[in-house]
Structure 1
C-alpha cells in the first residue's frame, strides 16, 4: 500500500516571537525556552549577531549577566547555511532586528523545512518607530510574547527605550534609527526605558 504523500512530509514548524524594548527581559526569556528545549532532548541551534560585542561572541548575554552558548553570525547567507547545516528541531535567533527584513523569507524557509523558530529582538527603535523585521514576525507568528520594561522615571510599564544624549556622536546622529549599526548596542550607560508619558527622544535630563 503506497504511503500517503501528505502524511510522509515533515510538517512545517512554528514561529515564536519574543519582542519588546531594551531592558524588558527578552534575552532571559529566550534563554529559558532554549534551556527547556535542551532538557527535553530537542536539537537546538542558537544564533546571535556578531555586531553585538557586549560579551563573548560565542554566547548570548542578557543585561543581568546570564548567558548561553550561541553561534555569532554577520549576515543572512551565513544564517541560512548554519540553520540548514544539520537537522535542527529548533532555531533560536537573538537580536533578530540586526539581520534586517531579509531575515523574514529565510525564517519562512527554515519553518517550511520542519524546524520551529524563535526570533527575539527589538520591535521598536530608540526614536519610537517600528524596527523591522520584528513587527512583520509578530504579524505572522503562531505565538507572540511582547514584554515591557520599567520606566526609570515613574515605574510604569515601558514600551519604549531612548538613547541618552551622551551616547550621540556626529556620525550616529545622522544614522537612521533602523540602521544596522553598533550605536544600537548598549546598556544603562547609553539607553533608558520609558513609558508613553515620559518618552521624549533627545530630551533626557
Structure 2
C-alpha cells in the first residue's frame, strides 16, 4: 500500500511519484485519488493531460470507472513548466504520450519544491517500454505499479493486449481495442482460452 509522503518543517523539498501499469489497472483512478486528497489539504494543484487524449472528455481526466477531475490539455511537456508556477502539487496523466522532455520537466518541478504525480502505461501493446516512462521510473522517488485482472484466466495482468488490427504504437482506445492479460495469456495471443461465462 502506498503511504503518501508529506512535507516536514523547514525547507520545502519536491519529489516525483510514478503510478504505472497496464490498461485497466486503475492508474488514473489512483492519480485522481491523490490529487483530490491534496486539494482537501488546501494544496495548490495543477493537472495536465496530453491534448490528443479526448476519449472521455476534452479537458477532464476521467478514469474507466468515470471518476473525473478538471485538467489542462497540453501539446508538449514544456508547457507544464510555464503553467505550474507557485503550485504545491502537479499531476500528469497518460505520461506515455508525452515527448522525451517530460522526465526533465518533472525533475525541474521537483527541484522547485513541488510534489509531482505522474501516471502512465509502462509498456505498449507489444510489451516494450513506452515513451518517456522508463526515464520517469528511473528518476522517481516513489513508484506504484498497479495490476489489472487478466480477462482470460483471472490472474494479475501486467500487459495491454491489442485486440484490433492497427499499425503504429499509438492507438487511443478502450475495451473495444484493448484488454488486460497476464504474461502467459498475453504470449498466447488470440488463441488464449477465455474463461467460461
Q: Please confirm whether the aligned pair reaches a TM-score higher than 0.5, indicating the same fold.
A: yes
Is 1:127 matched with 2:135? no
C-alpha distance 201-191 of structure 1, shift in aligned 2 (>3 A): farther
Name the CA shift for 1:201/1:137 in 2 (closer, same or farther; >3 Å). Answer: farther
State yes or no: 1:188 paired with 2:188: no
Residue range with higher mean Cα deviation, 143-152 or 98-107: 98-107
Report deviation, 1:141: 1.4
1:76 match: 77
Match of 1:57 in 2: 58
Structural RMSD (CA): 1.7
1:204, distance to aligned residue in structure 2 (A): 6.0
Contact map agreement 2:78 2:101 (CA 8 A) in 1: no
- Cα distance in 2 for residues equivalent to 1:204 and 1:31: 36
Deviation at 1:202, TM superposition (A): 6.0
Q: Give the corresponding residue for 2:39.
A: 38
**Preserved contact between residue 50 and residue 75 of structure 2 (Cα < 8 Å):** yes
Give the whole-Å Cα distance in 2 for the aligned partners of 1:58 and 1:38: 18
Indicate if the aligned counterparts of 1:18 and 1:145 stay in contact, CA closer than 8 A: yes
Q: 2 CA distance for matches of 1:50 and 1:29?
A: 21
**1:98-142 deviation line (CA, Å, top 9, x unaligned):** 113210111111111111100100001101111132222222211
Does the 8 Å CA contact 1:13/1:115 hold for their aligned counterparts? yes
Q: Secondary structure at the match of 1:146?
A: strand
Q: Write the mapping of 1:3-152 to structure 2, written as runs, cut at 5 A.
A: 10-83=11-84, 86-152=85-151
For 2:188 and 2:31, how far apart are their aligned partners in 1? 28
Whose radius of gyration is greater, 1 or 2? 1
Q: How far apart, CA to CA, are the structure 2 residues paired with 1:80 and 1:201?
A: 43
Given that 2:76 and 2:99 are in contact with CA atoms closer than 8 Å, whether structure 1 keeps it comes out as no
Secondary structure (helix, strand or coil) at the match of 2:47 reads strand
Unpaired runs of 5+ residues, structure 2, are 1-9, 193-197
Structure 1: gaps spanning 5 or more residues: 1-8
Paired residues in the alignment total: 183
